Structure 1
């Protein structure tokens, strides 16, 4: 069987079977080996004079061939004049079968020379395995490649470490990631290859059973992912994870994600330790002892690692563990493996309440910035973090339920501290901000409201830390209400006195708590994922907090300003001319548009449609004068601001019905649609007590965001409701839109809500 089409059909048949992942990989190896050996015989490798061999490297060389992998092949020769013909006879059928191929034709000397200059080639040849032809030639190549690596590996460790760290920065982590890169991410299959290469150079031990099991899981997940997608892909996203989890016997994708996160930690930590233990500090090469620079009491910088001072006594110093971690986070230097083992074996338990120096060291650790991530990971891998916070076990490696989040819950909390550290000068109690950031989602992973449960858990933790009763209550309230400000600012009318009054009452008029929640909201959003925190959200929260501060200080609520003279003139002009009118101002990339329509005209739908047509994402809409005028604030989804004259002309045509908004927006949505938008079922919620007026209620819609969504929803509302105000927020790919609506009949009658809800859901679906 040397026909490429027959090879492709056979491979497809294996994918359609129900082989388990390991059996499928073995079957693919057997299939390609069989075909390549037949093809090699037909090409003359077995009948020609000795001196040509076909060698597999990569996945085929390791006998770990996953579906849709490239074949990495080397045709080795000793100067045979027919080697070019043989190569063509081997490569062309594979290309015809659309098999990915990474190939080369070299003499052993050429191959070794390339390996001496190119690190990737040097590592690849460690997997060299004979397929066909002159077996002695293959053996000489494999032996020479391994000998070269053993002789030169130590000199190339810095280059290896740089390549690993560059790949980590590009591909992210498997541990604690919502969409892990199984091959290239930190803790992935490429990293396992690094461990095997270091072992082949006799610089480290061979991977143990825990690491081998971690590798096996990554291979199985990668195999099932590619079998499901029928193409090459190594990033596991949520939709595919459901299928993969079922095929591998996990209860759901969240159970698989948690296992994968732990797997990534095992491999990633092993690679980090291996590289740090083998790459020699520059001074050590010249026979000098590494310098020991004091960092804190009992803590020194030993060469390039944080270590214990010679006079440190871990068994008698409960806070030493936290000072070591804080020094590591502050300097960005790793904690030495020996120090971690000593602390794990000797550090005493911190008794309740913690002493002041331990609590201060914790705050220093949490406020250290980016270095906190690696410091916590080092403690967590050795069981030390769980000693400090036993509650961490419930959220460790816990995958997020929302597609907006890019991290597991535990990593999100650490990242929130990183962001909160940048805000400590904005609050009067930075210590409570950092502790609140660490604990704000501690209640997740259980069958309960995570804010309410988290408030109880955080109160126990705060008591253990030795905080005062007042501070314990503040931390608990931060966790209980950590979503209050962002939800209110983005989903409610912050110009409504009822909104501000409700927030102030909820927080018991505590200005300190208000400012802590303001900073925590920013840190929480920034730690969630790209696009969650925006300039507009920042502005909304600032306005809400300012209004609440006024109310809390007893200055009373300042009602929204009435239309100014220019705005009233524009409303009058719309009435006189019978045309829609627009006045636009811009602050940076944020547009504020005041729009007015003639008496009896419709404002919300035409305005939303025209803004969407110009790729403007609406953040808020406040309607005045019985819905004849409104202030819309928006910013470009991409690119620059639209031409204001064009926007005015389009709005006038839309109000008059001359602009076919439905068709134009449908075309625009087709042009700019993206598969990254999460597929979520739209959902509506009603709130009765958050507006002024007994005939008005709040309708909150959550749906997948897309161009023209507000326009379609406004059109759905037009038939049954008057819209008093609207708030629009986009969290990742999900829109959360709130509308204060009243029946056009003037009374909320039975069945009205169901009618409105059905229309809105149909428009958003």
Structure 2
């Protein structure tokens, strides 16, 4: 391959003397020349953009832009420096490599003679160079530069970043002697011998990957620096140049260091990534390497991706990126291992069994023509799962596996024996690790074609922060953590429930298939359930186990939707949910799958309140199943049970019966029907010492590590109280997850809020929240206003048209449902609107799914006699108009 990116060390450096400038250009003064160059380059960039849109090869575009800049740099040098015998000019870094993207840096090295010829030469050089750089800046070519002698180059190259840039030095105005002298100044005998360079660059690569979470599957990936990005490909070039003496990876094929198929794949993905980066620079109009939401749709459209019924154009583009990055990572890992062997020599193989051996800790097949059958592939994963001392897969075996992927049949086409081998892996040691390896190496996508379809598939929203395949693997990893036997503070009940599972592989299969039908159109739960049933039947699972996997996939959203959108303190809600679940085994499996699914969707989605919601729903449903679905619990029975349990808790701490009775008289009856005994006991104890008509604010920590708080407010009722509390919590940097607003005796309120910090750093403590709320409620409620904040950048690209609905409730209230774009302070603003409409809030359920807020409020208006009444149609319309004005008019 002819590649302008090749470093100067690959070839005899061609002399590049200064060229004679056009006489008309020379006649221009510097300002006129700079303007002319700026216009020329602008026209060139416009032409290149047109060629890009016409789908011309990206390497040709990069070479053309590099050549255009080369011409102007040489002309500027001739204008300012001329044929100076003591100075040479080199392009370094990406410019030296010949990969000049529309907004790339222009990095230059001015190589100065070791000793000035005369005492007056250095000041003249300095002034001429200053003129050159100013001229380039005015011409729209701001250049980063260094002026060094050969000795200074050697000294500077002790910094591996400087050496890396110099490795790709390309002469712009330099003779052969200067090129050879520069290469000699940075030779391995002087700085960074091959072994040290390899180890440092490998560690640099690992640290860079770690900065991006060791995954390419970020919502806004960095095309240059992220895992699987262009920097990974460049790192292989740099290592080849230092270790072998060539940065042309094609030459590694002849040396046996790289397979022809590997080289072709690597080049194909490099061009894909380069095209994405070139287009990103065009749509951003500035130096931008991160594929932000601001540019994703624009770039997808420019690349010709169009929305279809199954996926958006932007999702198609992102899937192309994720798949390219995954291949770069996969091949790069193999090449790094071969460089290691090149430097350290082949290790003595240590046999593991008749088929496999260990080479320097890497698992390798002993058969030189392995694998002969698909069964041999499954045997590899079985041995891998059984060994704790394996560092990874040997590069030769990994390459052989990749080359023979086409021979892996789908499970529908496989023999019964091969299907049985797969189930042995699933029932064997470390099944999640095995599935993860099979997915990463492409085997799982061959075995289950539907999994291949969702590999690299993203969803253009803020709720799903991973691609579907990576989310699935994250869910499986969470399931594996349940099986570890170690309690995980994130999940209250998981470690207790896991040992009761009859067949853990049922849960693994449900996790594997729960999202496998995304992107096909239709209900992915229903379609995935069909896939799961077919898979289980083909693999010989019993009808009972097949039905359970199918049910779990079909209902995998049931528990989370029930807990987050309905009042799970309502016995009717619990009874309906328990009826759908039906038995304890389904409940156990669904609880674990739900926890693993939510926690595997986004690192920020699972929190202490989600944990409590799921645990409370699980516990209440388990009791309902134990009692029998034919015996649903009525409100008064629930209230009586909670009252008795709360009484026992207070008595255990020395509270007498008379005091308990007095405290209960001040509490609303519905609180006993809806609250937990521990919560009710805490609220009752908080009322001690508070006179009738007094105010008491209490907060308690739920989870020390996540900063979740439960906040209880008891106060005389007055207009605007709920809005003032919400605004104050918002000012404290707390996001409300759920609010329960109850009317107590003597015209008081019993409000409880479940909150989490909006920022991880320095979350407010319970005492601080208590003090700030108490101060706010002691003053004028009119003075408590929501904090005004700018809308986060990423939310601007995910605007949801507000959906506002009204329904009647059984207790003569109006149920307000609101779906809209989430943003900081949203709830505080909504409650202000409710206050301005003179409405009372009796209950609130707050749910956020990425950029989507789905909130439900029970509200009433007050008639002339002070009684709560549902909203009539006129009042509903007035509220709808006010909310729309608040939400749609918000351009912050």
Tell me the TM-score range normalised by the shorter chain. 0.7 to 0.9
Q: CA deviation at 1:629?
A: 2.7
1:158 paired residue among 174, 187, 199: 199
CA distance in 2, matches of 1:676, 1:742: 35
Q: 1:604 to 1:477 in 2, by over 3 A?
A: farther
SS in 2 for 1:661: coil
Whether the 8 Å CA contact 1:258–1:398 is kept in 2: the answer is yes
Q: Where does residue 18 of structure 2 map in the other structure? A: none
SS in 2 for 1:635: strand
TM-score, normalised with respect to structure 1: 0.86
Q: CA deviation at 1:737?
A: 2.1
Q: CA deviation at 1:486?
A: 1.9
Q: 1:340 to 1:645 in 2, by over 3 A?
A: closer
- Listed as ranges, the matches of 1:151-190 within 5 Å are 152-153=193-194, 156-172=197-213, 175-190=216-231
Q: Which structure has the bigger radius of gyration?
A: 2
Q: CA deviation at 1:183?
A: 0.5
Whether the 8 Å CA contact 1:330–1:365 is kept in 2: the answer is no
CA distance in 2, matches of 1:523, 1:149: 54
SS in 2 for 1:79: coil
Q: Where does residue 281 of structure 2 map in the other structure? A: 226
TM-score, normalised with respect to structure 2: 0.74
Q: CA deviation at 1:214?
A: 2.2
Q: 1:320 to 1:24 in 2, by over 3 A?
A: closer
Q: 1:15 to 1:527 in 2, by over 3 A?
A: farther
Q: Where does residue 417 of structure 1 map in the other structure? A: 476
Q: Where does residue 522 of structure 2 map in the other structure? A: 448
CA distance in 1, matches of 2:521, 2:299: 25
1:504 maps to 2:578: yes
Deviations 1:432-455 (A, max 9, x none): 222221111011011111111111
1:20 maps to 2:20: no
CA distance in 2, matches of 1:88, 1:634: 59
CA distance in 2, matches of 1:586, 1:198: 52
Q: CA deviation at 1:196?
A: 2.7
With 558-567 and 124-133 compared, the bigger mean Cα shift is at: 558-567
Q: CA RMSD in A?
A: 3.9
2:785 paired residue among 630, 636, 661: 661
With 152-161 and 16-25 compared, the bigger mean Cα shift is at: 16-25
Deviations 1:628-670 (A, max 9, x none): 332112233232325245324344256x4342414xx22xx24
SS in 2 for 1:279: helix
Q: 1:479 to 1:199 in 2, by over 3 A?
A: same
1:261 maps to 2:322: yes
List structure 1 segments (4+ residues) > 6 angstroms apart after TM superposition. 146-151, 345-349, 570-579
Q: Where does residue 618 of structure 1 map in the other structure? A: 736
Q: Where does residue 83 of structure 2 map in the other structure? A: 47
Deviations 1:213-268 (A, max 9, x none): 32222222222222322322211123311111111222221111111122212322
Whether the 8 Å CA contact 1:14–1:24 is kept in 2: the answer is no
Q: 1:500 to 1:119 in 2, by over 3 A?
A: same
Q: Where does residue 308 of structure 1 map in the other structure? A: 365
1:585 paired residue among 680, 684, 700: 700
Q: 1:529 to 1:11 in 2, by over 3 A?
A: farther
2:145 paired residue among 100, 103, 107: 103
Q: 1:264 to 1:490 in 2, by over 3 A?
A: same
1:640 maps to 2:671: no
1:362 maps to 2:426: yes
Q: CA deviation at 1:79?
A: 2.3
Q: Where does residue 542 of structure 2 map in the other structure? A: 468
CA distance in 2, matches of 1:13, 1:577: 80
SS in 2 for 1:216: helix
Deviations 1:567-621 (A, max 9, x none): 7648999999877653333444333222244355444322211211222211111
Q: Where does residue 684 of structure 1 map in the other structure? A: 803
Whether the 8 Å CA contact 2:218–2:465 is kept in 1: the answer is yes
SS in 2 for 1:529: coil
The number of aligned residues is 743
Q: Where does residue 78 of structure 1 map in the other structure? A: 113
With 714-723 and 572-581 compared, the bigger mean Cα shift is at: 572-581
SS in 1 for 2:517: coil
CA distance in 1, matches of 2:728, 2:210: 41
With 568-577 and 738-747 compared, the bigger mean Cα shift is at: 568-577
Whether the 8 Å CA contact 1:724–1:740 is kept in 2: the answer is yes
Whether the 8 Å CA contact 1:291–1:301 is kept in 2: the answer is yes
Whether the 8 Å CA contact 1:704–1:733 is kept in 2: the answer is yes
Q: CA deviation at 1:73?
A: 0.8
Q: 1:346 to 1:97 in 2, by over 3 A?
A: closer
